[in-house]
Amino acid sequence: MKNNKNKIYEEIEFYSKELKLSKLKIHFKEYIKDANNTEISYESFLYEILKKEYERLLDSRLKSRIRTANFSQKKYIEDLEKEYLPEDARKKLKVLSTLEFIQTNQNVILSGNPGTGKTHIAIGLGMKACMKGFKVLFTTIPLLITQLKESRSNKTLRAFQSKFGKYDLVICDELGYISFDKEGAELLFSLLSLRATRKSTVITTNLSFDRWEEIFNDPVLSAAMIDRLTHRAYMANMNIVID
């Protein structure tokens, strides 16, 4: 009898592995013991097993979304010291935290000096989006331009643009810390233009709009970029204005 039970256990482990039911493979003996002790029905027993596997699947998918988002660090909206934010930023954060801007394909521009919480808010929104099932990417503007140039050089630019366009939310950090050449500016403009009104993009920048020409080195391209990004966008100045 004992040998027969061991054989059944081995078969359960085998089928659990083949079906990728990892939680069942590890805990099935515990589930059986609990079922015997509580004398639950077959229906309830099956329900509990499927429920636990589904919860494991959701957790695995969430971890995968966070991992592939490539956040520079983990930040949460709940950990933000909101009392130090300007009033306008606090009000907009409350609206942004609903993530409705992603569903309506709107952009977010967070501007302000270093240390004002721009990146924290951006990543916090990204983490929350991952938890809600959205596909998210975090990158920096300097890295993005490097990748764009490499893609053009390798003749894979169209594939890069296609993949970039499929993210529900893209967070572009650090616009304004370094300037870029004409090629970089044009590639960035084309890439972000593809997402305009189709998907959501969050931009963090240390420069006010009237200074964007300093990094684009082209007043026409700079104006066009601002126009594309700010259309139907949420804009928050993170600097505290002192009267």
Range of the domain at 7: 2-69
Cα(188)–Cα(148) distance, integer angstroms: 8
User: Is residue 45 located within the same domain as residue 91?
Assistant: no
Per-residue pLDDT at 195 exceeds 50: yes
Q: Which of 18, 47, 69 is the last residue of a domain?
A: 69
Question: For 144-154, what is the mean pLDDT?
Answer: 98
User: Is residue 88 located within the same domain as residue 58?
Assistant: no
Cα(196)–Cα(106) distance, integer angstroms: 8
**Number of structural domains, the chain?**
2
In this structure, of 42-56, 61-75, 119-133, 156-170, the range with the lowest mean pLDDT score is 42-56
Cα(124)–Cα(127) distance, integer angstroms: 5
Tens of pLDDT, residues 25-58: 888 888 888 888 888 888 888 888 889 889 989 9
User: Per the domain annotation, does 243 fall within a domain?
Assistant: no
pLDDT at 191: 97
Helix (H, G, I), strand (E, B), or coil: what is residue 181?
coil
pLDDT at 243: 47
Pairing of strands 200-205, 108-111: parallel
Q: 234 with 107: CB under 8 angstroms?
A: yes
Q: What is the 3-state secondary structure (H, E, C) of 52-113?
A: HHHHHHHHHHHHHHHHHHCCCCCCCHHHCCHHHCCHHHHHHHHHHCCCHHHHCCCCEEEECC
Q: Which of 49, 69, 89 is the last residue of a domain?
A: 69
3-state helix, strand, coil split of the chain in percent (to 5) is 60, 10, 25
- Taking the whole predicted model, whether its pTM rises above 0.75 is answered as yes
Q: Give the dihedral sign, CA 64/69/75/80.
A: negative
Query: Among 160, 138, 162, which residue's Cα sits nearest to residue 149?
Result: 160
Q: 101 with 234: CB under 8 angstroms?
A: yes
User: Is residue 148 located within the same domain as residue 214?
Assistant: yes
Percent residues over pLDDT 90 in the chain? 70
Question: For 191-207, what is the mean pLDDT?
Answer: 96
Question: For 17-27, what is the mean pLDDT?
Answer: 82
Per-residue pLDDT at 7 exceeds 60: yes
Tens of pLDDT, residues 58-77: 999 999 999 999 999 999 99
Q: Burial code of 112-142, b = ≥16 C-beta within 10 A, e = fewer?
A: beeebbbbbbbbbbbbbbbeeebebbbbbbe
Please state, rounded to an integer, the average pLDDT across all residues of the chain. Answer: 92
Per-residue pLDDT at 119 exceeds 60: yes
pLDDT at 241: 56
User: Per the domain annotation, does 95 fall within a domain?
Assistant: yes
Q: Which of 50, 69, 88 is the last residue of a domain?
A: 69
Question: For 12-35, what is the mean pLDDT?
Answer: 83
In this structure, of 63-67, 80-84, 232-236, the range with the lowest mean pLDDT score is 80-84
User: Per the domain annotation, does 137 fall within a domain?
Assistant: yes
User: Phi and psi at residue 72, in whole multiples of 5°?
Assistant: -70, -25
Question: Reading across the β-sheet that carries 169-175, which strands appear in turn?
Answer: 136-140, 169-175, 200-205, 108-111, 234-237
User: Is residue 181 located within the same domain as residue 218?
Assistant: yes
User: Is residue 17 located within the same domain as residue 59?
Assistant: yes
pLDDT at 1: 52
